[in-house]
Copies of this chain bind each other. A is one copy, B any other.
Amino acid sequence: MSKKYTEMTIKELQAERAKLAAEYVQIKSLGLDLDMSRGKPSNVQLDLTESLLRVLHDSASCKAEDGTDCRNYGQLFGLSEARELFSSLLDIPAKNIILGGNSSLNMMYDAVVRAMLFGVVGSPKPWGKLDKVKFLCPAPGYDRHFHICESLGIEMITVAMTPTGPDMDEVERLAASDESIKGIWCVPKYSNPQGITYSDETVRRFARLKCAAPDFRIFWDNAYAVHDIADEPDELLNIFELMHGTEYEDRLYYFFSTSKISFPGAGVALMAMSDANLEATKKIIEVQTIGPDKINQLRHVRYFTNAEGIHDHMKLHGRYLKPRFECVLDTLDTELAPAGIAEWTKPKGGYFISLDLADGTAKATYKLVTEAGVKITKAGATFPYGNDPRDRNLRLAPTYPPIEELKPAIHVVCTCAKLAYLNKILN
């Protein structure tokens, strides 16, 4: 089958569908139970930091460089030497970093909640007291970002993604024209799900964005900052540096975590922000908690030692993930490309591959895939309100399953995508 579907006659298409339908029946009979749904590191990746579990082994080892006993209360913004570690990794001043618990999602959620209840630096009033609060949502994007907006009643405005990041003409136009638009979600490096890294120009335009709202916030979720896979990985401009000291510096909320560096369930999360933002945030956080888990922070410092230690470690992750991504991409090339009905990204890092099918076939494909025993992220999940307007995007997460499960899983996806397409045009 080397002909594109668009070049086939009805007869040929019908024959192709019959073949694929038979193949699908056969696949279903295998009773597969495969999971390609979430961006979870595999056990093998987690084993890479096994000795992180052992670096703090007795009372004495819990004493930090500055004499802090990490076991006891104190240090609201987290352990100083851990803030230093992430400062050198991300090139952000340590004093602008607030460490949290195990979840950067939690820190993002809490940041939006604080804005709703108290407003942010520059807010005329708390966001929750306004008739309407809107966020720009580059899409396809990260479903959990969208869920935060949905849960808190923030209206989402979809902005298209381009190969260089969000459509910045649209971002600039919208941000400048509507003061109820208070923020934007960004995954600037190896974006979820497309694996796109924002171009230098995109980052520069973000750093100087003109906004109608005096209290607009860029939620810069740099989740995959050091998560390279390709030998020549993408480079992302340092937006914190670009904005620091400018009139725009309060506009940036920066997030990061080690969830996909050490342990997803027991890593260290952080946010970074300007001095003024930090001061305002401190007044609220100090009521919420006495401080994060410093023992776990110290574990990370002792294990990785410095930024280079983290980079070296991430090379091991990259080496492990590379064949997984290649397996998916190769299968898509072999099985789906000839049909000429789909496009996908070839990310140099991150956790996902984004698959754009023919319009109006993502949900049908998802249904077929799921019924064949392969879990993938729900169709629509990558768009605000779970609503993909062209019903074409699927997110593939190749990191968790062993490669011998990945191959059949992606084969099922290809088969179902083609079958769904044929079902659609032949009906």
A106 CA to B46 CA in the complex, in Å?
A: 28
The interface of chain A, by Cβ under 8 A from chain B, is: 38, 40-41, 43, 46-47, 50, 53-54, 56-59, 61-62, 69-74, 101-103, 105-106, 109-110, 113, 116-117, 128, 144, 147-148, 150-152, 259, 263-266, 284, 287-296
Known: A46-B72, A73-B264, A102-B293. 7 other contacts (CB 8 A): A43-B69, A46-B71, A54-B54, A109-B287, A117-B128, A128-B128, A265-B292
B62 touches A103 (CB 8 A): no
Contacts of A150 in B (CB 8 A): 287
A266 touches B290 (CB 8 A): no
Number of copies of this kind of chain in the complex: 2
A70 touches B293 (CB 8 A): no
Central interface residue in A74, A148, A290, by most chain B CB within 10 Å: A290
A58 CA to B53 CA in the complex, in Å?
A: 6
Nearest chain B CB to A83's CB is how many angstroms away?
A: 15
A74 touches B284 (CB 8 A): no
Q: Closest residue to A116 on the B side, CB-wise?
A: B117
Q: Closest residue to A291 on the B side, CB-wise?
A: B265
A72 touches B289 (CB 8 A): no
B53 touches A57 (CB 8 A): yes
A7 CA to B14 CA in the complex, in Å?
A: 110
A105 CA to B110 CA in the complex, in Å?
A: 15
12 CB contacts below 8 A, A to B, read: A40-B73, A43-B69, A53-B59, A54-B57, A54-B58, A71-B265, A101-B292, A101-B293, A117-B152, A150-B287, A151-B284, A296-B296
